[in-house]
């Protein structure tokens, strides 16, 4: 009997709320009855560095790191960081990416160049690519800092899990003060 | 049965709670920090940050000698600091169970070396457990306390970054009951390690290891997983998970106790296979011991001794050919190294040290990032507290002129960890260097943990805030100055003045970390750039602030732009701009 494991990779820049998004996702998956493993590096990488979070779920998961080249879905919070992670995605995998550029220090200092036309390059290799205007939708939800929840909403459509599971977990994990705008942000992402 | 999704560190904290731990002590260090942070939610545990790992272990030893269970946590390099009490604790043994949780960092995600702590277990002659996921982290913590008391030994529990920071599903149990009440017991033959007593304890240590080696052959944490394969694998910890991914058809001897090894179990397992691999990260720790038993294995000639393993790396090592993936880049991507946060109080100090052409002996903390372009003002970094001793040693060799360039830079927490000893030496032996203490009131790098200069404890209680000025004066520093690093000119002036002084001086750059949890620093309105005034001189870029971006302009020189989502309004850029181009709208 095959043990079908689904691999979701989330990438972005430290400080963008990637860890909270992956926490919520893994909580939802556990609630839905899956074996779940989630992995990321804290510490140095929080200071504006590249951040990658691996989430794997299925009947039984061994490695918490997604085997290289086997990610089924890549959710990117920033264009360069989405692009950077493409080699980890399998052929035919889905890519969801926030349409946002954050220049890393070597680019600002003029020592390195930010790649051009990233969305087109991604779409050329991965036909199932969705470009999300996260900042605009977050503003629509009432707070530009809810971009991570918008993106989680967009991702939720690729994960076959009941809407109530998501809503329940958001209520449990998002501070009350920010709950309403986050629910709005999630629903905006989910309806893309 | 209650289920939860916990990180390895959270699971160790939970396991400590379930095991009835009374006292927990640690010094923060990635990837171990969250173990103690998560103890706070269990009211039956007294959890605290110690000034360093040696003190943390000594606190744990005291609690153990009083009959209470104690957990001590640290990162791998912390064990170097705590090694002194550890080795003698091996001789005394324990009264209440004592577990030292140590988190290694293969791949150096956030460390200065990738030493393999398993060697400490062998070196100190104490048992070491190594979990492979969060469930085992919880279960092994409980077992480690029972083992500690059963065999009268401290026990090490080793994780790696991928265990400490991975989350997986665990089942929670009730707290054990019926543990003995703590008591004061005089037992000098066991607790006073003078030569005459210690000489009698050493043979007991050796016997203990032999007994455990036999016992470990029958314990469920060392298990054989048979699928009827032709290949055998001996593995432990996270490497087990990668072995299961890469070699689904192999039989596996999965070790939960990595020291001492269950020799008979290994012999019996090994006898079944022509091809036997040991899959382990870092040192050939298991491999060398298995080889010493006369068993032929494949290990480090196949798998790298450097860095961490991954499912892909294990597969590539086994096949001997690089794997091919569907997508690969046809261009070189810009790197995205970590950098100091917008509003970081360390920034202006390094900006000044760069301009003053200082030779900076550095230390461990967020400020180690000061070595990177464009601040580029850190020239050495060895270990916690090393900056001050390094500066003393350097200045012993140099001409008076060059001596003045040497500046030791150290954070408040690192200074109290082991830096203070270096300062005593600097005064005692008449060095002429300058020491800068970057006092941001918190242990920031590991995620903002409290320290003795913060004014409150891990559990949230108010406590005495060490007066760093008085402390420096008490060890004999005559020139102690305090500056606000948000005042760029004033900070540079004081640094220049103290660097020129031919005596020991301390400059305390005091301003709270932007991210401090208690008394959070209020974000001020974001600055903007008046592009008509910006001449494209790039002076602001020398601050290395992530909020300042560079945009194209008609004259080709480019102009500064401030990203309003990142800017916290610290105002450093306004102070370094000669053309008054930075400001707050409607200001």
pLDDT tens track of chain A, all 192 residues?
A: 356 999 999 999 988 999 999 999 999 999 999 999 999 876 555 678 899 999 999 999 999 999 999 999 999 999 999 999 999 999 999 999 999 999 999 999 999 999 999 999 999 999 999 999 999 999 999 999 899 999 999 999 999 899 999 999 999 999 999 999 999 999 999 998
Q: Give me B134's structure tokens.
A: 């969060």
Q: Which residues contact B485 (CB under 8 A, 6 or more apart)?
A: B345, B346, B347, B348, B349, B438, B491, B509, B510, B511
Q: How far is CA B252 from CA B223, B224, B320, in A?
A: 8, 6, 21
Q: Between 1.10.10.10, 3.30.70.20, 2.40.100.20, 3.40.50.300, what CATH number should domain B528-583 receive?
A: 3.30.70.20
> Do B30 and B108 contact (CB within 8 A), yes or no?
no
Smallest Cα distance from A5 to chain B, Å: 11
Given B30, B241, B549, which is nearest A64 (Cβ)? B241
Residue A171: phi and psi, rounded to 5, are -65, -35
* pLDDT in the model for residue A101: 94
Domain covering B223-319: architecture? 3-Layer(aba) Sandwich (3.40)
* pLDDT in the model for residue A46: 60
Task: Give me Rg for the CA atoms of chain B.
Answer: 27
* pLDDT in the model for residue A44: 58
Determine the Cα–Cα distance for residues B385 and B423; give it in Å rounded to an integer.
10
Closest CA to B388 of B419, B432, B411: B419
pLDDT along chain B (587 residues), means of 10: 94 98 98 97 97 98 98 98 98 98 96 97 98 98 98 98 97 96 96 98 98 98 96 98 96 98 98 97 98 98 98 96 93 93 96 98 96 96 98 95 96 98 97 95 92 95 97 98 98 98 96 85 91 96 95 92 92 97 83
Determine the Cα–Cα distance for residues B262 and B216; give it in Å rounded to an integer.
5
Determine the Cα–Cα distance for residues A170 and B277; give it in Å rounded to an integer.
45
Domains along chain A with CATH numbers: 6-190 (3.40.920.10)
CA-nearest residue of chain B to A39? B166
* pLDDT in the model for residue B323: 85
Q: Is B528-583 in the same CATH topology as B2-218? A: no
Instruction: Please report residues of A whose CB lies closer than 8 A to that of B327.
Output: 86-87, 89, 91, 125-126
CA-nearest residue of chain A to B239? A63
Q: Give me A42's structure tokens.
A: 């804290």
First to last CA, chain B: 59
Smallest Cα distance from B540 to chain A, Å: 11
Reply yes or no on domain B2-218 having CATH 3.40.50.970.
yes
* pLDDT in the model for residue B587: 53
* B352: region left, alpha or beta (phi > 0 left; psi from -120 to 50 alpha): alpha
Given A37, A45, A113, which is nearest B168 (Cβ)? A37
Q: Maximum distance among all alpha carbons in chain B? A: 83
Determine the Cα–Cα distance for residues A79 and A11; give it in Å rounded to an integer.
10
Looking at CATH, the fold of the domain delimited by B347-510 is given as Rossmann fold (3.40.50)
Smallest Cα distance from B386 to chain A, Å: 20
User: Domain locations in chain B?
Assistant: 2-218, 223-319, 347-510, 528-583
Instruction: Please report residues of B whose CB lies closer than 8 A to that of A102.
Output: 563
> Do B409 and B485 contact (CB within 8 A), yes or no?
no
Determine the Cα–Cα distance for residues B470 and B486; give it in Å rounded to an integer.
23
- Burial class of residue B456 (count of CB atoms within 10 Å of its CB; 0-12, 13-18, 19+): middle
Instruction: Please report residues of B whose CB lies closer than 8 A to that of A37.
Output: 133, 166-168
Smallest Cα distance from B125 to chain A, Å: 31
Identify the three-state secondary structure at position B558.
Answer: coil
> Do B124 and B206 contact (CB within 8 A), yes or no?
no
Q: Cβ B5–A26 below 8 Å, yes or no?
A: yes
Q: Give me B204's structure tokens.
A: 């007991």
Q: Which residues contact B452 (CB under 8 A, 6 or more apart)?
A: B51, B416, B463, B464, B465, B466
- Burial class of residue B43 (count of CB atoms within 10 Å of its CB; 0-12, 13-18, 19+): exposed
CA-nearest residue of chain B to A26? B5
Instruction: Please report residues of A whose CB lies closer than 8 A to that of B346.
Output: none
Determine the Cα–Cα distance for residues A99 and A95; give it in Å rounded to an integer.
12
Q: What is the DSSP letter of B8?
A: H
> Do B122 and B94 contact (CB within 8 A), yes or no?
no
Q: What is the DSSP letter of B443?
A: B
Q: Cβ A114–B544 below 8 Å, yes or no?
A: no
Listed in sequence order, the DSSP H helices in B328-373 are 347-355
CB of A60 within 8 Å of a chain B CB? The answer is no
Determine the Cα–Cα distance for residues B333 and B342; give it in Å rounded to an integer.
24
Q: Is the dihedral of CA B45, B46, B52, B56 positive or negative?
A: negative
> Do B222 and B129 contact (CB within 8 A), yes or no?
no
Could you report the predicted ipTM of this complex, rounded to two decimals? 0.95
Q: Cβ B325–A69 below 8 Å, yes or no?
A: yes
pTM (two decimals)? 0.97
Determine the Cα–Cα distance for residues A104 and B367; give it in Å rounded to an integer.
19
């Amino acid at each position: 009997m095959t043990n079908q494991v689904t691999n979701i990779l989330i990438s972005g820049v430290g400080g963008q709320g990637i860890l909270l998004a992956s926490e919520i996702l893994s909580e939802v998956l556990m609630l839905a009855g899956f074996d779940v493993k989630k992995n990321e590096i804290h510490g140095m990488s929080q200071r504006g560095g590249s951040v990658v979070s691996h989430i794997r779920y299925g009947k039984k998961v061994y490695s918490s790191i997604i085997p290289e080249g086997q990610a089924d879905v890549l959710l990117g919070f920033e264009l360069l960081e989405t692009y950077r992670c493409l080699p980890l995605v399998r052929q035919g995998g889905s890519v969801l990416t926030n349409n946002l550029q954050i220049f890393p220090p070597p680019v600002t200092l003029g020592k390195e160049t930010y790649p051009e036309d990233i969305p087109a390059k991604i779409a050329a290799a991965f036909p199932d690519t969705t470009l999300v205007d996260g900042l605009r939708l977050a503003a629509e939800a009432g707070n530009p800092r809810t971009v991570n929840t918008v993106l989680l909403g967009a991702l939720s459509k690729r994960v076959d899990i009941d809407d109530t599971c998501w809503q329940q977990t958001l209520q449990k994990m998002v501070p009350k003060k920010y709950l309403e705008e986050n629910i709005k942000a999630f629903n905006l992402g989910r309806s893309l | 049965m209650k289920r939860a999704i916990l990180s390895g560190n959270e699971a160790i904290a939970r396991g400590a709670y379930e095991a009835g731990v009374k006292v927990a002590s640690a010094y923060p260090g990635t990837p171990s920090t969250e173990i103690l942070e998560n103890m706070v939610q269990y009211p039956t545990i007294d959890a605290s940050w110690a000034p360093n790992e040696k003190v943390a272990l000594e606190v744990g030893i005291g609690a153990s000698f009083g009959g209470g269970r104690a957990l001590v946590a640290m990162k791998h390099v912390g064990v170097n600091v705590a090694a002194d009490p550890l080795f003698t604790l091996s001789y005394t043994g324990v009264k209440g169970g004592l577990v030292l949780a140590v988190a290694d960092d293969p791949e150096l995600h956030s460390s200065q070396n990738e030493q393999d702590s398993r060697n400490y277990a062998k070196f100190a002659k104490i048992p070491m457990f190594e979990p492979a996921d969060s469930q085992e982290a919880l279960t092994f913590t409980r077992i480690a306390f029972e083992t500690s008391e059963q065999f009268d030994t401290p026990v090490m529990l080793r994780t790696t970054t991928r265990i400490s920071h991975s989350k997986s599903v665990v089942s929670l149990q009730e707290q054990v009951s019926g543990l003995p009440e703590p008591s004061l017991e005089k037992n000098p033959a066991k607790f006073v390690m003078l030569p005459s007593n210690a000489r009698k304890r050493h043979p007991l240590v050796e016997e203990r290891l032999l007994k455990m080696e036999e016992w470990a052959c029958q314990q469920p944490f060392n298990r054989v997983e048979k699928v009827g394969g032709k290949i055998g694998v001996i593995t432990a910890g996270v490497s087990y998970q990668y072995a299961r991914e890469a070699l689904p058809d192999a039989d596996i001897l999965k070790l939960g106790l990595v020291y001492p090894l269950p020799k008979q179990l290994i012999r019996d397992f090994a006898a079944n296979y022509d091809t036997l691999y040991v899959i382990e990260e870092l040192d050939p720790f298991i491999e060398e011991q298995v080889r010493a038993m006369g068993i032929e294995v494949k290990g480090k000639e196949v798998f790298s001794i450097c860095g961490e393993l991954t499912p892909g790396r294990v597969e590539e090592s086994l096949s001997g050919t690089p794997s091919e993936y569907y997508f690969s880049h046809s261009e070189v991507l810009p790197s995205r190294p970590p950098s100091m946060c917008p509003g970081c109080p360390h920034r202006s100090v390094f900006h000044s040290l760069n301009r003053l052409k200082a030779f900076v002996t550095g230390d461990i903390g967020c400020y180690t990032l000061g070595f990177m372009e464009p601040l580029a003002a850190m020239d050495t970094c060895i270990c916690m507290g090393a900056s001050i001793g390094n500066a003393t040693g350097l200045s012993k060799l140099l001409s008076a002129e060059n001596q003045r360039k040497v500046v030791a830079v150290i954070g408040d927490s690192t200074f109290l960890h082991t830096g203070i000893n270096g300062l005593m030496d600097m005064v005692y032996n008449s060095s002429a260097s300058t020491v800068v203490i970057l006092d941001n009131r918190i242990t920031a790098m590991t995620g903002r943990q409290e320290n003795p200069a913060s004014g409150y404890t891990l559990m949230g209680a108010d406590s005495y805030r060490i007066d760093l000025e008085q402390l420096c004066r008490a060890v004999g520093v005559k020139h102690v100055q305090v500056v606000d690093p948000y005042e760029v000119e004033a900070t540079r002036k004081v640094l220049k003045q103290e660097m020129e002084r031919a005596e020991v001086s301390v400059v305390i750059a005091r301003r709270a970390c932007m991210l401090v949890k208690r008394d959070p620093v209020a974000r001020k309105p974001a600055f903007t750039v008046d592009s008509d005034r910006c001449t494209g001189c790039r002076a602001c870029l020398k601050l290395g602030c992530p909020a300042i971006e560079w945009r194209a302009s008609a004259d080709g020189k480019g102009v500064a732009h401030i990203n309003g989502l990142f800017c916290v309004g610290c105002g450093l850029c306004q102070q370094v701009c000669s053309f008054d181009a930075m400001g707050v709208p409607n200001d």
